[in-house]
Structure 1
Amino acid sequence: MIEIQNIHKSFGDNHVLKGIDAAFEPGKVSMIIGGSGSGKSTLLKCIVGLHEPEKGQVYFDKEEFTQMSFEERIPVRREIGMLFQNSALFDSMTVEQNIVFGLDMFTSMSKEEKVDRANLCLERVNLKNTNHLYPSELSGGMKKRVGIARAISMNPKYLFCDEPNSGLDPATSILIDELIQELTEEYQCTTVVVTHDMNSVMGIGDYILFLYKGEKFWEGSNTDMLKSDVQELNDFVFASPLMQAARQVIK
């Protein structure tokens, strides 16, 4: 369980987050949605400690992360898996080396154990026998899956994904969504996904948090979202004809 309370974040005079509250449950895919500049990625970075909020608290299983020192945060960070928007793979490292990188930093596993773990994670994301390829030899979808393999290499309790379908074709996006959902259920992770992809929201979103101009405007399930009378949410969700059609079916 991750709980955030009254999160505020500013950059200079730009007040990006204005008192955000939410709770993300284990075994569920929670999604943060909103337009460009709404504060989605900033909120995610505040939760994992890449940004420090000026005000508010972040709790990982009732432990207040925001008040911890750098050293105190290390055990929590060992339980976090992170998939960045651009996959953030090291170009000079092979697939295997990219996955082992986190294990080198945070575990005392032997070299053989690390390779075994890398192989297990690659097999789990359907990339068996790609160990010695470099990122330049991979497609966009394969890079995302390597990023996921690295994110789950330490059996995370908490999985964060920032725009996991960015730059992917629709078919590959569905595969990535299904993989995130399967891993969430398999590991019983508390999974938080930042996205603007409404297909993902409707496909795998258990809990939806909608941000508008740095404020929490709505929260609930993806089916409840289609029935909402919040105008700002409707303007965002039903911008496409496909989502307008989906709303008519629900009604």
Structure 2
Amino acid sequence: MIEVTNIHKSFGDNHVLTGIDAVFEPGKVSLIIGGSGSGKSTLLKCIVGLHQPTQGKVFFDGQEFTRMSFEEKVPIRKEIGMLFQNSALFDSMTVEQNIVFTLDMFTEMSKQEKIERANFCLERVNLAGKNDLYPSELSGGMKKRVGIARAISMNPKYLFCDEPNSGLDPATSILIDELIQELTDEFKCTTVVVTHDMNSVMGIGDYILFLFKGQKYWEGSNQDMLKSDNQELNDFVFASPLMKAARDTIKP
């Protein structure tokens, strides 16, 4: 479980986050949604330690992550899998090398064990046999899947995904969502996803945290969201005719 309490983040005079509280539970896919500039990615970076909050605390299973030294954070970081928005693959490395890179950094596995683990992860994301390809030879969806394979290479307890469907066509986006859900169930991860994709929200959103102007304006399940009277949430979610139609099937 991950808990954030009273998180604030400022960059100079720019107050990006103000007093965010949330609990992300294991075995569930939690989504952080909101418009551009609402603070979604900043909150994610505060949780994983890429940003230090100006104020507030982050707990990983009761351990206060924000007060730890760099060395003290290492055991928790080994349990974190991260999929970045642009996949963040190394262009000069093959698919296999990109996955093994993480294992080189954090494990004492033998070379053969690392290759076997890479093969397992590639098979898990339906990319078996693509070991020797370079990122330039991959489609956008394949790059995302390689990023996920690398993220799960350490058998993570916590899985973070920043805009996993960005730049993908609808069919591929659905496949990525299904993969995230399957991996969450399989590994019992505490999964946190930043997204603006309403198909993802309705498809895999066990818990939704809605940010508006750097503040928490609503939280609940995707089904609760369809019945909410929160005006800011409704303005964001139901801008799409498809989502309006979904709400109309729920509300009398």
Interval containing the TM-score (normalised by the shorter chain): over 0.9
Q: Give 2:21's aligned residue.
A: 21
- State the AA in 2 paired with 1:90: F
Matched ranges for 1:1-251 at <5 A: 1-251=1-251
Q: Kindly provide the CA deviation profile for residues 103-162 of structure 1, in whole angstroms up to 9, marking residues without a partner as x.
A: 000000000000000000000000000000000000000000000000000000000000
**Structure 1 unaligned runs (5+)?**
none
> RMSD of the alignment, in Å?
0.3
Task: Please state whether the residue corresponding to 2:66 is helix, strand or coil.
Answer: coil
Query: How many correspondences in the alignment?
Result: 251
CA separation in 1, counterparts of 2:102 and 2:60?
A: 20
Task: Please state whether the residue corresponding to 2:133 is helix, strand or coil.
Answer: coil
CA separation in 2, counterparts of 1:148 and 1:21?
A: 27
Instruction: Give me the identity figure in percent.
Output: 85
Task: Please state whether the residue corresponding to 2:102 is helix, strand or coil.
Answer: helix
Runs of 4+ displaced beyond 6 Å: none
CA separation in 2, counterparts of 1:191 and 1:250?
A: 27
1:210 deviates by 0.2
CA separation in 2, counterparts of 1:233 and 1:75?
A: 37
1:250 deviates by 1.0
Task: Please state whether the residue corresponding to 2:228 is helix, strand or coil.
Answer: coil
Task: Please state whether the residue corresponding to 2:112 is helix, strand or coil.
Answer: helix
- State the AA in 1 paired with 2:105: M
TM-score by length of 1: 1.00
CA separation in 2, counterparts of 1:198 and 1:231?
A: 17
CA separation in 2, counterparts of 1:184 and 1:76?
A: 18
1:202 deviates by 0.2
1:30 deviates by 0.1
CA separation in 1, counterparts of 2:66 and 2:143?
A: 32
CA separation in 1, counterparts of 2:10 and 2:55?
A: 10
Task: Please state whether the residue corresponding to 1:242 is helix, strand or coil.
Answer: helix
CA separation in 1, counterparts of 2:93 and 2:20?
A: 38
